[in-house]
A = this chain, B = another copy of it.
Amino acid sequence: MKKEVPLSKAKWIIEPGCVLLVTSGSMEKANVMTFSWQSPLHSGEPCIIMLAINPNRYTYELLKSNNQFVLNVPGENLIEKVHGAGTVSGRKVDKFKKFGFTPVPAAKVDPPLIDECSAHLECNLTQVIDLDHHHLLIGNVVHASADERFFNGCWDPERFHTLHYLGDRRYGVMDRMLEVYP
């Protein structure tokens, strides 16, 4: 069951550096991009995040049309779809159909959530920094939600296994938690 996450806790959804699926566009015309060049930029409210993206990507074109995007967090069970979505362009193929992702309306932005993912950050683009090779997209998180079985202010890696890109066709799996005692 997915529940709203307070914006003060939203950055913990992406802090572990896991692979994301970025959705852009609208319910009628959307794209999915496999992504891991992101970072939080501000912890509190607004929760601010950054994506580094090649401006030639179809996601960038769609994203600039309404200045909105969604970060969706896939688990280990989606690895084949995550990898597949990273190998083709949305200009040529509808990745929702091809990989069986289910689009569902977001709470506050136009791009759809991916129902199969376990957490979602809905974002408004506030600034673009052009570094030639890549553009830095700065966004404010305007709504966050997560599966309460797996995320309760922080991820539970014993129950939900995020993917971490290692290169080529390889992904690391985060599936254990350590707690430092004071």
Contact A37–B36 (Cβ < 8 Å): no
Given the interface pairs A79-B180, A177-B173, the reply to whether A155 lies near B162 with Cβ below 8 Å is no
- What secondary structure prevails in chain A residues at the interface with B? strand
The residue from B131, B154, B172 contacting A168, defined by CB atoms under 8 A apart: B154
Contact A166–B12 (Cβ < 8 Å): yes
Report Cα–Cα, A79/B182, bound state, in Å.
Answer: 12
- The answer to whether A129 has its CB under 8 Å from any CB of chain B is yes
One digit per residue, 1 when the CB lies within 8 angstroms of any chain B CB and 0 when it does not, for chain A 71-94 equals: 000001001100100000000000
One digit per residue, 1 when the CB lies within 8 angstroms of any chain B CB and 0 when it does not, for chain A 153-179 equals: 111010000111111111111111111
Contact B15–A18 (Cβ < 8 Å): no
- The answer to whether A55 has its CB under 8 Å from any CB of chain B is no
Contact A175–B177 (Cβ < 8 Å): no
The residue from B16, B127, B153 contacting A165, defined by CB atoms under 8 A apart: B16
6 interchain residue pairs of minimum CB distance = A17-B17, A16-B164, A154-B167, A172-B174, A173-B176, A83-B180
A interface, CB within 8 angstroms of B: 12, 15-18, 36-42, 48, 50, 52, 76, 79-80, 83, 127, 129, 131, 133-134, 136, 138, 153-155, 157, 162-182
Sample of 25 A–B contacts (CB below 8 Å): A15-B165, A15-B166, A15-B167, A16-B36, A16-B165, A17-B36, A38-B39, A39-B39, A41-B52, A50-B52, A76-B178, A79-B180, A155-B172, A157-B172, A162-B164, A163-B178, A164-B164, A164-B174, A169-B180, A169-B181, A170-B178, A171-B180, A172-B174, A172-B176, A173-B177
Known: A129-B136, A136-B136. 6 other contacts (CB 8 A): A16-B17, A39-B52, A41-B52, A48-B133, A76-B178, A154-B170
